[in-house]
Structure 1
Amino acid sequence: MQSWLDMLREARAQGRRFARVRVVTLPLNDYSRFGVWCSQFTNGAGEDIRYLERGKAAALALPDHDYWLFDSRKLVRMHFDDRDAFLGGEVIEDAAEIVKHNYWRDAAWHHAIRRDDLATEQHLGRV
């Protein structure tokens, strides 16, 4: 994890921005609690991770698949099997799909809450 944190610090020092929204089910399961705990370190290194409750994501008609956007113009859709094992990423080059995913990212960001706020709401504190 240290190499990821170092990379985040270096990139932020160069003016790059790292942000993501994680969609979670409440109450948090053990894996999601662990993710919230870890995000205190990545946020401290310069990444901005926020959280959106799954019901709100559904009400906003956000997709139920995971994806990454790089510089708002490169889209990689993640694929998982029925047991949530990662199968790989698919690079999507269709401009309309990229625009749609940028919209979804912005909508999720608008409704998501900061890591520390979620930790407080879920009584996780700062460990």
Structure 2
Amino acid sequence: MKPPAREPLSRARRSAIHLEVRDHYHSEDPDFLAWREGRRKFTLDNQADWWEGWHDTVRAAVSRGAAVRRARVVSEPLTDYVRWEYAYTVTNAAAGEQVRWLPRRQAKDLAVPAVDFWVFDGELVLFHHFSGDGVLMEREYVSDGALATWCTEAFEAVWKRATPHEEYKPV
């Protein structure tokens, strides 16, 4: 499998946008399982327990002037997995990432790719292809200006409607 989003994010100069459209990902994630058991480690008080290379990469991108934004299109009520993502978002924000949430019913008239994706500097698209049970099967990198523009426009349409993480209250 090709390198993860961390590698192209480490080169991004202007922007990195990420759209997530799934309600469930791989359920065997140890952090997710611990959260389901009631162990809550994602607070600013215990940053040493969760800060990792991804957060360093985001912070470095933001420090060099790249805007790092993530939008999540979600079904309500939220699945347990997305509730965990909501709890985990404090880590993204601490690194400098901006995150917004859009209930799926508010996206009904938007043309949005049916897969999660990243767009780096408006040029490189990274699609994440998952199995039905949420296992990442493939990362597909595409350098296609027209496709990057379409994905960016779809992201911006979601972003415009979505609620900032600080204001979003999970249902």
User: Are 2:73 and 2:102, in contact at CA under 8 Å, matched by a contact in 1?
Assistant: yes
* TM-score after normalising by structure 1: 0.85
- Within a 5 Å distance, the mapping from 1:72-91 to structure 2 comes to 72-91=122-141
Tell me how large the CA RMSD over aligned residues is.
1.7
Amino acid at match of 2:162: A
What's the secondary structure of 1:116's corresponding residue? coil
Partner of 2:56: 6
- Aligned residue in 2 for 1:23: 73
TM score, norm. by length of structure 2? 0.65
Q: For structure 1, list consecutive stretches of 5 or more residues without a partner in the other structure.
A: none
Asked if 1 retains the 8 angstrom alpha-carbon contact of 2:107 and 2:158, the reply is yes
Percent of aligned pairs with the same residue?
Answer: 30
- For 2:151, the aligned partner's letter is H
Report if the CA contact (8 A) 2:124-2:144 is conserved.
no
Q: How many pairs are equivalent?
A: 121
Unmatched 5+ residue regions in structure 2? 1-49
CA contact (8 A) 2:124 2:143 kept: yes
Structure having the larger proportion of residues in helix:
1
Q: Give yes or no for contact 2:73–2:104 (8 Å, CA) kept in 1.
A: yes
Which structure has the higher relative contact order (CA within 8 Å, separation 6+)?
Answer: 2
- Segments of 4+ moved more than 6 angstroms: none
Check conservation: 2:127, 2:140, Cα contact below 8 A: yes
